[in-house]
Structure formats: C-alpha cells, structure tokens
Structure 1
C-alpha cells in the first residue's frame, strides 16, 4: 500500500532503525536520531546496494516518487549497456529540483541556464565520459562578457547534476566539484538601505503620524516583526495562533518554502487589534483601502517611506537589516536564535532540520525585547524633541 503524508509524519524514531515501504522498491528509512530519508535497494555486479534520494521533508513524497521513477528508467538504460547523457540526467534532476523553487520565474532561469550554456557542449555526451577540463571550459566561456554571476550559477548547476547522477548510482564519482574556483569572485551585493539604530526613534515617530491608517499600522507591524514585505502583505487572520500570540506564516509565502513562526509581542498584538477594526469581515489583516479583498500593494510601504523623506535612506526590507544589527550587537541573544527568527537559510541541512522548531521560548523573549527597544527609541526621540 502506498504511503500517505499522514503516515510519514507519524513515523517516530525507535531504538533501532526501520523502514516503511511506499511500493515499487521505494521506502522511507527512519533512523534512531529521527532523520527520515528516501531510499531504494538495487543490484549491481551481483551485490545489493542502497540508493539514497534525499531527506524528508526537504524532499517530499511526490518528489521522492519522481526521483525513484527517473532512476529506474536510467537504471534500465545502464543495465542495457548505455549510460544516460548529461542532458537526460539534467532533465531528471530538474523534474525533482524545480518544484522546490520559490516561483516560476526562478524555475525558468534554472532550466534556461542549462539550455543556453551547457547542453550545446556536453548535452549529448554520456555523463560518465565528461572530463573536468570540458566543464572548466564551459564555465569560463559562460563568464565571457562580464557574466560573472551567471557563470557561478552555471558552475553550481553542473555540479548539482553530477551530484544527482552520483546519488542515483549512474556514476561512481565525478570531477565537477569546486568549478567556481576557476571563476572571478562574485560581486558583493549592496545591502538594502537601512537607517542606523540611533535614527530609529525619529522614523518611528514619523510613522506614528502617517495619515493613512492601514499603511501606518502596516509599517508599525513591519518594524515589530521584521518579516519580509511579501510575508506581511499576505497575512491572514486564520494564520494567528494561541489567541493571537503567535503568527504562523505558511510555507508558500516564505522564501525558503518552510513555515515560519513569528511570536507576537504585546505591541504587535495591539497593532493587529487596531487592524482588525479596519479589515471588517475580510480574510486579510492588511486589506487594501483601495481594493477591498486584496492585500496592500507591493510598493505601499516603500512609497510611504519616500513620502516621509527616507528615499535612499530606508526601505521596507531595511527593518530586517536594522533588527539584525541591533539584536546581534545589543540584545545578548544567541546568534542561532536571532537567525532562526530572521528565517535565514541554514547552510548545514542537519542543523537546519534540528533548529527549525527550536528556540521558540527564546524567540518569544527576543521579540518582546525588540518591541520594548523600539518603544525606548521612540520615547527617547520624543523627549529630545520636546
């Protein structure tokens, strides 16, 4: 019988590792540590080997089934004496990779990178016959004309395809690692404009006097929660938990495609209650005053900051930079707690899986400390201006 997501979520670790079958040879392996990974056994040279596709939940049930199906196809090709071409493996990798990307534009960019810069040179070559000098030539050529960032993306995607082929058992090893070493260094991205901590009180006081109430309250909530603008714009009343003390942003609105928990300070809850009076019976917390039933526009907060005199000095995203600076330099909270609340990418996959649900108690304290700090800055500016 095929697995269901409910069964997977209910698979708890035991003293010894065990597996639950999905059928067609695919199974979920549950380690005593709680790690869950998609695996399948196969025969090679008369010996049984195990292939690991990826870990759950980073690889979903649907993605695991697709990867397993693709591997069976390429495995049959290998058994008949032909190794799949780079393009065939890359397209199998794309079918697994693309659904996990944030939007259709990003998906198209990933696929087009391979179509434009890689397939014309090695697309029709069996993947086990491609040598490192060929790959170096491809990424260096991609860099021509100053396309440094593009070349780095090409290098990363080539490596990912070869890693996938190795994980699937198509090749034993490859020479595609570290291709970016031959490229020029990437340009450091210029950070979004953000005020200094010392200027926070003045900005908050100006926001408090902003004439349009939904925008005013939205900016206050953005400062208090330091989430990304798109995450806040789509905020719904049914995303509030624990009598309004916690906001759970669903995965589809998060940059990393993982749900994010935002503990709400007393001040944030007070702002939300004011917004409740304005939203009426709508589903959205920040219901547009211009188009009812739609969220405020993408540039609402940025243009409001412009009108307050902060063009080039502060952006809506700048509240995240401000919070990161202050929390890391002044709050005394551990960096992991701060990074988890900022919903930044964790470079270590195991660490990310472990930390995702951690630090919630500390994060409640952090968010209240931050809201109190903002109040202190506002009050300090008002005293100085009196």
Structure 2
C-alpha cells in the first residue's frame, strides 16, 4: 500500500512538469493559474511551449520581493531541416496570442517543416516582402516627375523649374499623375492637353510636351521605364507661329548708336544699353549685373547659374570697351548692383524692361527690343568673313557660346571652358566691341 502511494505521487508530479509529451494538453485556466516564483515552462505538446516568467516588485511592508505579475511567451521547438540542430521560434505573448492561435501557428510551422522549409527563415522572408510592399512607392508618372523635378531645381534656374512644375500640376497631373509611367502614351497626353489646345495655348502645350518628354527620359535612365514612346507627341498639336525678336538690319547699327547718344536716356540707362550690346547677354542678366560677379584684373564677368535662363554658370570675356563702362559706373557706385534702380531702391537693380521703354521713347517701338540686340550681334558675327575671304571668321560654336545657348555637343561645351577655345571667345568679343565703336563713328 505504501509503495502504491509513492507511485501515485510520482505520476501526479509528471502531469504538471513542463515538458509533457501529450498533444493539446494545456487549458486556459491552467495557464492563468500558473504563477511560479521562477521561470517555468508549460508544454502543450508537439513542441509548443509557454514560458512563464515572474515579474517581481518589492513589498512595502516587509521589504521582500514578491511575484506580482507574470510574462507568458509562446515558443515552438523544432529541428532545423538545413542542419538537424534543435532550435525554437517565438510565437508571441499570451493572451495576445491565444492558446488556439498558438496551436495554429505551430501547425503552420510543422507544414513548412514537412516541405523542408525552416519556419523562422520563411517568416523573416515573408515579413521583409510585406514591408517592402508596404513601403514601395508605385511607379507612377507623378513619382517619376517628382524625382525629375528635384534634379531640375539643381540644374535649372529655380524660378523656371517651379513655373514648369506649377503648369504640370494644373494641366497634367490631374489626369496622368497616378497612372503607371509605363502606360503613358500619346493619346493620353493629347487628351490631357486637349483643353489647352481648344484655348489655342500653343506655347504652354509646347512647354508641357517638353517637360513630359524630359520626365519620361528621366524614367528611362532611372530604369523605371523601358522606352519613351512619346517623343513625337508635340506633332499631335498645332504648331506655334514663329515670332522672332524685333531687331534691326546690320546696316542700321550705326544709326541706332547715333540715336542712343542723342537720346534723353539717363547715364545709367545708356550705360546699361551699351553693356547689353557689348556683352550680348539677355536683358535680365545685364540689368542684374553685380559687382561681386566682376573680375576686373582678369577682364571676366561670371554670371552664376541661378541668374541664367538655362541654369548654367556663364563667363563673359570683357573687352576694353566693356571695362570702360564699368569704370564709369564705378564713379557713381552706390550698392551691390552695377546698374542700380532709382535712389529709393539702392538694393535693387534696374528693370529688365528699362531698355525697351527707352527704345520706345526713341521711336524704335515695333522695330527693336533689348533682346533683339543679341539677334543683331549674332547676325553680324555669323556673317563676318576672314581677311583672306571665303571662310567665316568666327566659329559657329563660339558664337553660340557667347549667346549662352546650351548645346550638348562637345565642341560647343569646349568654348565654355578655359584654354584655346575660350580664348577664341575673347578674340570674338574684342572684335565685336571694335565693330560697335567703329559703327558709332560712321556718318
């Protein structure tokens, strides 16, 4: 009888030890009732276990540490298929992960093991894929346009880039923005711009077509698009009538110079006119000339990229005549700008429209605008022959570089750097100023 009682006690103890080999042995009540004073493992069978860890706090009355709460964590023990080693994977905390859910997770892991798949590795891969999918930005036209715009703000004058972006937001993105970039085709673009076409806004359409093509080309080089199929989309719309800047014939240069000298222009306005003519820069670039852009010892004027239409730094070789204009302006210098506005606005340059208004008062309205001075210079420079006759004196690319026309051609780029090619621009600018000076003395 005594031996039977000992055996019964031993069997009872085996029923509550942690590593029970029975399947689905645990019950929720047994889990919640388990409040050990040290780490204890409850086995549900088949490798599923619940580790119960006491959390202690100090009894204020006695000062002793007592277990007041318990952390219960599910885990599944198994043998790794790749190397046969024992390991375990966490399944979450009880009761967030219920007993039933823990058993489901165990069965899923067992199914993977039956296929030779490590459930830990599989879970990590699945989680990575889910996170990647959640964080993946759809390859839409708008996404590629946003990336393109970030580059534009670095490479092009910020104000110009922003105007283009505003136009895209207004006319293009509402219809094309959320479409996959690979779906962008000519018919969709034509539909998006149809209202502008009806309104006859051809210039806006041209700019938007250029921007759309540039965005699609950016998508191609970014490996977001296989091919830009919209390169000829501009042909779907009416062409803009070409209107050239108002300018004069080369033979009229002499009379223009006489009229300017005889006009009622202020000295600063007259100086700005001749500065524009001698340097052949754009009206806004000339009017905004700053003293800190001028390098008198080296006879150079460097216009920063943010002031250039094409967003690239432009260096102008200064002739002796151009230097003389600066010397005269130095005598009345009153701020950071070479051609300051009125005395009430010393911190602002003259308006880019100043020359246009002065020419209008001189009787040149509808005949010449300040931008036309560049066209006049280009016509004359392109027509000059060598002294030995037959060939043009100045290289086409040198003239284009003087006019700051951006060209991806390597020959054109060479004229914007130092060395022999840049020196050819120096010679060209000296000749041009001498030609202007000679024309001013013709009767």
- Structure with the bigger RCO (C-alpha within 8 Å, sep 6+) is 1
The corresponding residue for 1:361 is 423
Aligned positions of 1:82-231 closer than 5 A: 83-104=138-159, 106-130=160-184, 133-139=187-193, 142-188=196-242, 190-211=243-264, 212-231=266-285
Task: Choose 360-369 or 82-91, whichever is displaced more.
Answer: 82-91
Q: CA deviation at 1:108?
A: 4.1
For residues 292-346 of structure 1, what are the alpha-carbon distances to aligned partners after superposition, in whole Å with 9 as ceiling and x for unaligned?
A: 3432233322222222222222222221111011001125211111111111121
2:401 to 337, 340, 344: 340
2:398–2:415 contact (8 Å) kept in structure 1: no
For residues 180-222 of structure 1, what are the alpha-carbon distances to aligned partners after superposition, in whole Å with 9 as ceiling and x for unaligned?
A: 232222321x222212211211221222234522122222222
Task: Choose 330-339 or 142-151, whichever is displaced more.
Answer: 142-151
The corresponding residue for 1:296 is 350
**Residues 226 and 122 (structure 1), Cα distance of their counterparts in 2 relative to 1, 3 Å cut:** closer
The structure with the largest alpha-carbon Rg is 2
**Residues 94 and 225 (structure 1), Cα distance of their counterparts in 2 relative to 1, 3 Å cut:** closer
2:397–2:412 contact (8 Å) kept in structure 1: no
The corresponding residue for 1:239 is 293
The corresponding residue for 2:26 is none
2:316–2:402 contact (8 Å) kept in structure 1: yes
For 2:327, what is the secondary structure of its paired residue? helix
For 1:268, what is the secondary structure of its paired residue? helix
Q: CA deviation at 1:78?
A: 10
Which ranges in structure 1 are unaligned for 5 or more consecutive residues? 1-74, 382-386
The corresponding residue for 1:276 is 330
For 2:316, what is the secondary structure of its paired residue? strand
Task: Choose 295-304 or 126-135, whichever is displaced more.
Answer: 126-135
1:214–1:289 contact (8 Å) kept in structure 2: no
The corresponding residue for 2:11 is none
State how far apart, in whole Å, the 2-side matches of 1:240 and 1:130 are. 47
1:239–1:249 contact (8 Å) kept in structure 2: yes
* Residue 376 (str. 1) matches residue 376 (str. 2): no
Task: Choose 287-296 or 253-262, whichever is displaced more.
Answer: 287-296
**Residues 208 and 184 (structure 1), Cα distance of their counterparts in 2 relative to 1, 3 Å cut:** same
Q: CA deviation at 1:145?
A: 3.3
Which ranges in structure 2 are unaligned for 5 or more consecutive residues? 1-130, 386-392
2:365 to 302, 307, 311: 311
For 1:173, what is the secondary structure of its paired residue? coil
**Residues 364 and 303 (structure 1), Cα distance of their counterparts in 2 relative to 1, 3 Å cut:** same
CA RMSD of aligned residues (A): 2.8
Q: CA deviation at 1:174?
A: 4.4
